[in-house]
Structure 1
């Protein structure tokens, strides 16, 4: 995971943009809205409240975030298709793919990773085009 963090820190928006064809950037990024869902499994479940109230809100304060929602698994019934195993999740709305890309190198996002990554054992991200 350390190599991914280093990649995100050093890549920057311009570097990442160069990985895509110019026509894709100009057409798709300008108009494609998206949802960025992040799920955290913490080393210690006793840290859930601290992580939810102290750590995760940093992500919602990043410059390009449109809307931000965080929470914990709902107390819904156990079913094969429902995953209650994570401790904290957040859903972040972006107005464009370009905004999501800029978020990856936002100083608050990078500070969040640096400061709190030791608290989670696993993180999963699901990006959805809308």
Structure 2
């Protein structure tokens, strides 16, 4: 049996404890990966007309929060750029909107959902640019 220093033992058990508390254990990752299998991922990035306006950012976030009530959305995440700063990281957007749909058909229904159309009507004046990345499971 390999011997492990006290420091290595404490470090490894501490990491496992933290990961378990966050739901990031190996079984959880496998379960979460399985839950995303064959889902339709819709990721939207917004650049505001007034990028320094906290008021405009909050209006957009509030609009997205109302939009989460659309029936075909399985999961949603509203984000802002993280503090990470590496050459490959795009941080010029102000808000991101990540959605998980059961399939492409549900995403299509979402596009014409009255809640989505109302969001566009109420919030489109806030952004100058929107970029959408849609993805499905690689085969």
Unaligned runs of 5+ in 1: 1-30
Q: Does 2:70 align with 1:59?
A: no
Q: Does 2:63 align with 1:84?
A: no
Q: Does 2:58 align with 1:49?
A: yes
CA distance in 2, matches of 1:62, 1:123: 20
Q: Secondary structure at the match of 1:89?
A: strand
Runs of 4+ in 1 over 6 A off after TM superposition: none
The structure-2 alpha-carbon separation of the partners of 1:50 and 1:115, relative to structure 1 and needing over 3 Å to count, comes to: closer
Aligned residue in 1 for 2:117: 110
How much has 1:56 moved relative to structure 2? 1.2
Unaligned runs of 5+ in 2: 1-36
Q: Secondary structure at the match of 2:73?
A: coil
CA distance in 1, matches of 2:57, 2:96: 11
Q: Does 2:76 align with 1:68?
A: yes
For CA contacts below 8 A with separation 6 or more, give which structure has more relative contact order. Answer: 1
Q: Secondary structure at the match of 1:108?
A: helix
Which protein is bigger by CA-based radius of gyration?
Answer: 2
How much has 1:32 moved relative to structure 2? 4.4
Aligned residue in 2 for 1:126: 133
Q: TM-score normalized by structure 1?
A: 0.71
Q: TM-score normalized by structure 2?
A: 0.67
